[in-house]
Amino acid sequence: MGTSVDDRTSRWPGRWSHGTVAELLTGRNNSLGFIRLVLATAVVVSHARVLGFGKPEFGHAFTQGQVDLGKWSVYGFFILSGILVTRSGVRLGLGRFLWHRALRLLPGLWVCLFLTGFAAAPVLYWKLHGSLDGFWGHGWGPVEYLRANGAIQLNQNDVSNVMADAMAKGLAHDRSIDGALWSLYYEVLCYAGVALLALTGILARARRAVLLIAALLGWLVIRQAVGDRFWTGSFEATYFHPVDLPVLGFTNPVLVIYLGFAFALGAVVELYRERIPVSDVLGFASLLVLLLSARFGFLFVVGLPAFAYFLVWLAIRLPAPFRRVGARNDYSYGIYIYGFVVEQALVVLGFARWGLAPYLALSLAVTVLLAMLSWHCVEKPAMRLKDLGAPRRGSRAAGRPDRSPADHSPTPPAPEGAHPDTGRDRIPARP
């Protein structure tokens, strides 16, 4: 119990370990920003095939349908959020923790919803119908779109049937105008779990309970994989069915289990960081396990834990130039929330006829531009309010603003537009 971090980390011999996560993944001297940017970009790349051309996303065939590039990026986001948000939950009081989380998510989301409903949707409606007659004045217009989705959960997928009409005319392949937003709700559920664990003191004094939670979620994952090693994971409900919960609303328990397992793996990495060695041997081994499980099955059972270690190892061991990417300007959240709607708009406007490469290049260019504007004009100014009301005098701990990278991390997602087949119209279906 009284062992110091130095004592506990000295057990790892230098010839095969560079140290521990506690020693090497501190502050901002890491490549987490670069990795988040790659994951967000991977979502846009993956969606280009299905949104632009109605074809399976990249990686679907290689993994025997277990995941694709977009879905796997979601899991990566949840793993990294598990690390960073747990760190924030340990350091901050409950009120400030919730305040920081709200500032990181809501302002950017609200502006995105506004631009989608009042800028993108009218242009697309005009393109389809030649006028705006019928766009306003009904229960599924832009005002209702903001109201329905402004509290994180994606309850209205379309604006004035823009995408439904585009699909009917053969111009689009998905009926959601910004389907990638669905995962934010499950991210917030994980935040609520961290807040509850912090409130009860478990994060600070009983970390084994978090390990137990991760083990329980892992057992539920194993339970399903035993019957089908190529099961598609959280995106198809079998033994749990979607429910409409009081207060929370429409929730898919299987998504909670699988995305929660990814988040819990990150939380375990953070809470046991002084016991996890940073080894190149383990890093390459985890990549090998990930690839083998993706190809031959049991991806969520063994591949997801391997992915968690690989991301942490990569964040530490990538060369120094990668550490500067995203250190000051974090565009990954903006890329995530704008990528889907940009791709949908370009499809309806006819740019997909140019072919995959030009369509994807234009999608990325417009998305990155919007992400930059979102960061500099909305997200970053909002984050300046994170210490609003914080005590500036008194104890050193109270007076020092928290500088955890969790407060600057995007939460995507996670971010992936492929929605589970829930049988409910308000959750967009995917081919």
204 in Cβ contact with 368 (< 8 Å): no
**CA neighbor of 160 nearest in space, from 147, 146, 174, 145:** 145
230: helix, strand or coil? coil
Measured distance CA(342)–CA(334) in Å, rounded: 12
What pLDDT score was predicted for residue 14? 55
What pLDDT score was predicted for residue 418? 38
- Start-end of H helices in 228-355: 253-271, 280-296, 304-317, 320-323, 332-348
Confidence (pTM) = 0.85
What pLDDT score was predicted for residue 241? 62
* Below-50 pLDDT ranges, the chain: 1-10, 234-239, 393, 395-431
Strand partners, 251: 243
What pLDDT score was predicted for residue 391? 66
What pLDDT score was predicted for residue 22? 87
Model pLDDT for residues 197-241, shown as the tens digit of each residue = 999 988 888 899 999 999 999 998 888 888 777 776 544 444 456
What pLDDT score was predicted for residue 424? 34
| Count of beta carbons in the 10 Å neighbourhood of residue 68 | 25
- Start-end of H helices in 13-93: 21-24, 32-53, 69-91
